[in-house]
Amino acid sequence: MAVLQSLSKFKPVMQKLLRSQTSNRSLFRLSNVATNGSRKFHTNEQLCDIYEITDEQDFKKKVMRNSIPVIVNFHADWCEPCHSLKPLLEKIANENEGRLHLAEVLVDDHVDLLHAFEVEAIPAVLGIHRGIVTEKFVGLVSHKQVMEFVEKLLEKTEK
């Protein structure tokens, strides 16, 4: 009950969440940490839309029919350069919130998409706007080259 009494410190949305979930022990412990003066409550809020593509229909809906440009990252769990590129793409997508989205396509699960976009090597990154590929690069490239890719993608789509 101490948690419910100290809810006034939180925004109304958090108050509602804590009230509705106090029976959940992990959230109860989390809320106790949040009310403790020595620790701060943090959320890992996603700033932009980052999609994990699940199937071809999902790809069509989230990428091909999207009115906002989408960076499509074709990657694999076993690909080391892919692991290096992914955090950079996520950072860039978050920095351009509202201007572009990021879609992650696991190549081992989506061979049909590989063939459809003629992806022959990974990592392969496409810039797609309204169903049209406007930019593309393959392999691990420098931070500067990725930034130029994003600038070109946004430049072409904002016209």
Catalytic residue chosen out of the listed positions 7, 18, 82, 122: 82
Answer whether the bond into residue 12 is a cis peptide, omega within 30°: no
Q: What are phi and psi of 107, to 5 degrees?
A: -65, -30
| Degrees to nearest 5, angle at CA 73 with 67 and 79 | 170
Q: What per-residue confidence (pLDDT) applies to 25? A: 39
Is 48 known to be catalytic? Answer: no
- Residue ranges of the chain with per-residue pLDDT less than 70: 1-48, 159
- What is the homologous superfamily of the domain 50-157 according to CATH? Glutaredoxin (3.40.30.10)
pLDDT the model gives residue 48: 58
- In this prediction the pTM is 0.69
Please identify which of the residues 79, 92, 126, 128 carries the catalytic annotation.
Answer: 79
Query: In the prediction, which pLDDT does 42 show?
Result: 39
Identify the pLDDT of residue 14.
47
Burial of 43 from C-beta contacts in 10 A (0-12 / 13-18 / 19+) = exposed
In this prediction, residue 44 carries a pLDDT of 41
Domain ranges of the chain: 2-35, 50-157
For 16-44, write each residue's pLDDT tens digit.
Answer: 444 544 444 333 333 333 444 434 443 34
